[in-house]
């Protein structure tokens, strides 16, 4: 094969990406890179649906629980680490699999990140204080005023994304969105994107079942020792935020569980909106035979 290839598997949460990634890794005799930003942290296992021990043994995985929630690990760090790993793996393999539902992290590897000017760390510190003292609504309102274009498309319930955008707005006097989508250097590999899709009702049912299973497996016990660290960026995620609210005495447990399901469904909807924008995706379903999908992928490898 003349060209090195990255097979990127995308799709909404609970759709079966891990299972497909392992099947393809075994077929092409290669490894898997996780681009799921929630699975980077070793303290978060059940709530992030980390692959089981059997799944991890079925194929070599990279970037699964390799960091602590107490470490800062940005999308830029992930881009750098992944490109270094790809260069190493491509010395002996022509193909590697990447899998995950974090569109920003996938695009960082496939396309490259947008470049931003340096701003004073004091701005971020001040924004974090605002978040703690006045709540996320204050940051949402500020972003709406400073960069309405980005406000319309960002996940406004993600404080990390809000603070990142606001520190650029405040530090440069320019909208965060003005730095996005500039021309970047092409990657030294070809990317084949495989997307998994299903009817919305099927996805939502899978999500509801997964949340129930997580609770049975002990998600609440996993969250309890993290309560004192609930302000950390890594813990601002679905499944943890809602149970923190329960443990803080704000809402009943049953309502917290229903909120996890609802917010996960919303997250899945945003994922599909992101992935549907890609025009060159090979689409598959959870029920398609792996042999049929491999035929489609091999046609792109020629």
Boundary (domain end) residue, out of 135, 161, 179:
179
Contact yes or no for 239/214 (Cβ under 8 A): yes
For residue 129, what is the domain's CATH number?
1.10.20.140
Residues 210 and 135 placed together within one structural domain of the fold: no
Same domain, 135 and 75: no
261 and 233 within one domain: yes
At 25 the three-state DSSP class reads: helix
* Same-domain pairing of 222 and 104: yes
Together in a domain, 59 and 88: yes
DSSP 41: B
Sequence ranges of the binding site for substrate = 13-18
Do 204 and 276 fall into the same domain?
yes
Final residue in a domain of this structure, among 179, 198, 219: 179
Domain count, the chain: 2
CB-count burial class (<10 Å; 0-12, 13-18, 19+) for 85: middle
Residues 131/159, Cβ–Cβ less than 8 Å:
yes
Is 144 found in the same domain as 67? no
- Classify burial at 16, counting beta carbons within 10 Å of its beta carbon; exposed 0-12, middle 13-18, buried 19 or more: middle
CATH number of the domain where residue 97 is located: 3.40.50.300
Whether 215 and 154 map to the same domain: the answer is: no
Say if strands 282-284 and 190-196 run parallel, antiparallel, or are unpaired. Answer: parallel
Structure tokens at 297: 């992928």
User: What range does the domain containing 256 cover?
Assistant: 5-113+184-301
Same domain, 36 and 71: yes
Positions at the binding site for ATP: 11-18
Beta bridge partners of 95: 5
* pLDDT tens track, the chain, 302 positions: 678 999 999 999 999 999 999 999 999 999 999 999 999 999 999 999 999 999 999 999 999 999 999 998 988 899 999 999 999 999 999 999 999 988 889 999 999 988 888 899 999 999 999 998 999 999 999 999 999 999 998 988 888 889 999 999 999 999 999 988 777 778 999 999 999 999 999 999 999 999 999 999 999 999 999 999 998 989 989 999 999 999 999 999 999 999 999 999 999 998 988 888 878 999 999 999 999 999 999 999 97
- 143 and 231 fall within a common domain: no
Q: Of 140, 155, 179, which marks where a domain is finished? A: 179
Cα distance between the two ends of the chain = 8
Distance in angstroms (rounded) separating the CA atoms of residues 289 and 302: 21
Please tell me the distance from the alpha carbon of residue 44 to that of residue 186, in angstroms, as a whole number. Answer: 34
As annotated, the binding site includes: 11-18
> What is d(CA 34, CA 198) in angstroms, rounded to the nearest whole number?
22
Say if residue 72 is in the same domain as residue 158.
Answer: no
Q: Are residues 144 and 96 in the same domain?
A: no
Contacts of 272 (CB under 8 A, 6+ apart): 11, 12, 197, 203
């Amino acid at each position: 094969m003349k060209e090195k290839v990255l097979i990127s598997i995308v799709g909404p949460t609970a759709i079966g990406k891990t299972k497909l990634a392992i099947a393809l890794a075994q077929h092409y005799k290669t490894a898997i890179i996780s681009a799921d930003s929630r699975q980077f942290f070793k303290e978060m296992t059940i709530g992030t649906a980390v692959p089981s021990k059997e799944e991890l043994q079925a194929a070599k995985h990279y970037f699964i629980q390799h960091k602590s929630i107490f470490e800062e690990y940005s999308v830029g760090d992930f881009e750098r680490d992944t490109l270094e790993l790809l260069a190493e793996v491509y010395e002996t393999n022509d193909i590697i699999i990447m899998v995950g539902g974090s569109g920003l992290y996938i695009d960082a590897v496939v396309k490259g990140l947008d470049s931003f000017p340096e701003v004073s760390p004091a701005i971020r510190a001040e924004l974090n204080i605002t978040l703690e003292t006045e709540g996320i609504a204050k940051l949402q309102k500020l972003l709406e005023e400073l960069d309405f274009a980005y406000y319309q498309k960002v996940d406004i319930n993600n404080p990390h994304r809000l603070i990142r955008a606001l520190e650029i707005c405040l530090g440069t006097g320019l909208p965060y969105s003005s730095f996005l989508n500039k021309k970047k250097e092409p990657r030294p590999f070809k990317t084949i994107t495989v997307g998994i899709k299903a009817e919305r009702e099927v996805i939502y049912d899978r999500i509801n079942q997964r949340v129930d299973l997580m609770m049975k497996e002990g998600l609440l016990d996993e969250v309890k020792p993290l309560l004192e660290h609930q302000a950390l960026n890594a813990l601002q995620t679905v499944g943890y935020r809602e149970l923190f609210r329960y443990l803080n005495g704000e809402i009943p447990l049953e309502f917290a569980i229903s909120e996890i399901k609802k917010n996960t469904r919303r997250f899945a909807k945003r994922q599909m909106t992101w992935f549907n924008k890609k025009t060159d995706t090979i689409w598959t379903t959870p029920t398609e035979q792996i042999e049929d999908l491999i035929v489609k992928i091999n046609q792109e490898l020629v």
